[in-house]
A and B are shown apart, each in its own frame.
Chain A
Amino acid sequence: MRFGAGLWCLQATATAPRHHSTAYRQLLEDAVALEAFGYEGMWLSEHHFFYDGYCPAVLPAAAAALAVTTRLRVGTGMLLLPMQRPERVAALAADVATASGGRLDLGVGLGYRDVEFDGKGVPRAQRVPRQRAGLAALRDIAVPAGATIWNGSATPAGVARAGARGQGVMLSGANPLTLVRELAAAHREGWQEAGRPGGTRPPVAALRNVWLTEDAAERRAALDWQRASYVLYAGLGWSVAERDSTPAMDFLSDPGGAIADAVATTIIGPAPAIVDGLHEVAEAGVDHVIFRVVIEGAPQAALHHVLRRLADEVLPVMSTVEAS
């Protein structure tokens, strides 16, 4: 099992105000810290036109984080590919990948907010063909430069298509483990049915809400930081559709229920409890865990504290564990 952390969204929110330049300065400090702690990856996220300045341009931000590190990989989780011109975004990604010696994990997603499509002049109905065109440009321009493509999806069909292309997937932290298991299986089947392109099964990465602590007050705070961080999704209007054993998680129409369900996914406690929880994640088919610890209200000191503890007490135990 391999480990990273995320998601750096570079916001300045109503309930955790700061200067945006502080957010970007801390991004670079956090990148250096992650590398020193021994993590493999740092993951950023993209949205547009939101009041809190949610990062709208992940590739320049990734380029900066890569410029202050030498081993750390930096990923986009996700770059909203249909909203950019294919050849240009591929050239930009190629530049980032080349300059970093191939340390760019280029996660791409479709996007889901109508206001973003409207603002960029892209009909939402065209997002799938535009995604295909973008992926083709990335394959031709960015991958030869050293970028690794990842896909964001919450549907079995979507992750199966990624598997069939021989590409990895990155799954949301709000997904319950039942859905993670279903999606990981669909990804694997998609890869197998396509004739195992590349010869090696492409990885499944999953954001998971994790916090290591024995302290009751820190536990309360960390769970409240998780709650606060998911209020954002109510503002953005994100949702997970009901399917089979997975109940709907609709942050727009039922924000209280959806937030509670997302917080309930948190693996929290002392190191043995984290290890037990991560074994379940591995058994669900996850190869890469991205600790979702960059959350609303968590100060940088708390972030570095928990990342260091996880690196010291959990990563060595889990490093030899493989996804089921």
Chain B
Amino acid sequence: MRIGLQLPTGDLDLAARADAAGLCAVLTPGGVAGVDSAAAARVAARTRDIRIVLRVRLGVEHPVTLAEEVAVVDHISAGRVVALVDTADLDPDAAAEDLALLRASWSGRAIRHDGPRWRVPSGLMGPGMPTTLAVTPKPAQLDLPVWLDGTAAGAGLPVLARSFAGADPTAQVQPAVDDLTGDLDTDRRHVTAWAEAGATHLFVRQPDGAGVDFVRDVIARYLMPETAMPHLPRIVVDSSPPLPWPGPRMAPTASREDGLDG
């Protein structure tokens, strides 16, 4: 199981620390009115490798507009986005239609959609308008990953689990979210239980008051190894870290990644 980090706020330094510590992904905070594309864009600009799980809340905007924003963030991040589509207040039929239009917008096809909620192209501008539409740019990724959240989630895509019972151990991808306590033994048992329940990507939330190095010194040092293989020989995590290079500081980005900034 891989471990990612929930970003409770748009804390870019925390995202950068998660990137430097090798976490698999960050989950954007879920902004006001379902607005996460700007927060995700900021994270993309300030990180290099880490995946960005971008919450896309349905029902707050035209799905084509939402699709455009996600595609732009995917390019800013050079293809690191996972769209976590939150069905929010939509009923299952409405959610299915919006989701279908979103995914069609990210396909390589010119689209035409005619449903109860949306008609694209709308035909409102009268004759002479094209009968299909290309939403551009396409995402950087060949097939943008789509996960689901919310009460109307369905469609055979990965659904975010919030409890062990909600995890499907047969799914190729089973994302989950949970909070850490800050007690190492408890958190070790907890993440191990998630792995045993079948989660593939667990997004943890730091405990309140976690120190600035919690991501590196707890999540990356203890919890990620704990779930990276069965029966971890704990001597590899309990031994002292190697001394840092005593030479001159490198450029700011490199020094942060090397952990020399403390």
Count chain A CB atoms within 10 A of each CB in B38, B61, B62 and give the residue with the most: B38
Q: Establish whether residues B122 and A119, one from each chain, have CB atoms under 8 Å apart when the complex forms.
A: yes
- Contacting residues, chain B, for A21 (C-beta < 8 A): 75, 78-79, 140
Secondary structure class of chain A's binding surface, majority of residues? helix
User: From B72, which residue of chain A is reached at the shortest CB distance?
Assistant: A57
Within 8 Å of chain B (Cβ to Cβ): is A59? yes
Q: Assess the B125–A118 pair: CB atoms within 8 A.
A: yes
With a cutoff of 8 Å between Cβ atoms, the chain A residues found around residue B60 in the complex are: 85, 88
Contact A99 B61, beta carbon cutoff 8 Å: no
A-B interface pairs (CB < 8 A), number: 151
Separation of A67 and B61 alpha carbons in the complex (Å): 25
Would you call A67 and B134 a contact (CB within 8 A)?
A: no
Contact B121 A61, beta carbon cutoff 8 Å: no
Stretch among B42-50, B147-155, B213-221 lining the A interface? B42-50
- Given A49-B134, A53-B137, A92-B38, answer yes or no on A119-B64 (Cβ-Cβ < 8 Å): yes
Q: Which of A50, A67, A83, A84 contacts B136 (CB 8 A)?
A: A50
A6 to chain B, nearest CB (A): 17
Nearest-neighbor residue (CB-CB) of B39 within chain A: A95
Stretch at the interface among B29-37, B181-189, B241-249: B29-37
Q: A56-B136, A85-B60, A120-B65 are in contact. Are A67 and B42 (CB under 8 A)?
A: yes
Q: Please tell me which one of the listed residues A62, A64, A85 contacts residue B44 in the complex, with CB atoms under 8 A apart.
A: A64
B65 to chain A, nearest CB (A): 6
Q: Establish whether residues B118 and A61, one from each chain, have CB atoms under 8 Å apart when the complex forms.
A: no
B23: Cβ under 8 A from any A Cβ: no
Which of A51, A56, A62 neighbours the largest number of chain B CB atoms within 10 Å of its CB?
A: A56
Indicate if the CB atoms of A20 and B122 lie closer than 8 Å: no
Residues of A within 8 A of B22 (CB): none
A17 within 8 A of B: no
CB of A66 to closest CB in B, whole Å: 8
Set A23, A53, A65, A123: member contacting B124, Cβ < 8 A: A123
Instruction: Judge whether A177 is part of the interface by a CB distance below 8 angstroms.
Output: no
A91's nearest neighbour on chain B, judged by CB, is B33
Q: Which of A10, A23, A68, A119 contacts B46 (CB 8 A)?
A: A68
Interface centre among B42, B78, B118, B120 (most CB of A within 10 A): B42
Residues of chain A in range 102-137 having any CB-CB distance to chain B below 8 Å: 114-115, 117-124
CB of B130 within 8 Å of the partner chain = yes
Known A85-B60, A118-B129; contact A25-B34, beta-carbon cutoff 8 A: no
> Are A117's CB and B124's CB within 8 A?
yes
Tell me the smallest distance from the CB of A84 to a CB of chain B, in Å: 6
| A55 at interface, CB cutoff 8 A | yes
B106 to chain A, nearest CB (A): 13
Instruction: Tell me if B42 and A99 are in contact (CB < 8 A).
Output: yes
Q: Does B18 contact A (CB under 8 A)?
A: no
B146 close to chain A: CB less than 8 A? no
Determine the chain A residues whose CB is within 8 A of the CB of B120 once the complex forms.
119, 121
Instruction: Answer whether residue B179 sits at the interface, using C-beta atoms and an 8 A cutoff.
Output: no
Bound Cα distance from A53 to B68, whole angstroms: 10
Q: Quick check: is A144 within 8 A (CB to CB) of the other chain?
A: no
Q: Is B41 an interface residue (CB 8 A)?
A: yes
Write out, one digit per residue, whether chain A residues 26-59 have a CB within 8 A of any chain B CB (1) or not (0).
Answer: 0110000000000000000000111111111101
Further pairs besides A28-B76, A52-B136, A114-B129: 6, Cβ < 8 Å: A57-B37, A60-B73, A85-B61, A88-B61, A115-B129, A123-B124
What are 21 A-B interface contacts by the 8 Å CB criterion? Answer: A10-B75, A10-B137, A20-B138, A21-B140, A49-B134, A56-B72, A57-B69, A60-B76, A61-B76, A63-B38, A63-B45, A66-B42, A84-B65, A88-B60, A91-B31, A91-B33, A95-B32, A114-B129, A120-B65, A121-B122, A123-B125
Using CB atoms and an 8 Å cutoff, list the residues of chain A in contact with chain B: 10, 12, 19-21, 23-25, 27-28, 48-57, 59-68, 83-85, 87-88, 91-92, 95-96, 99, 114-115, 117-124
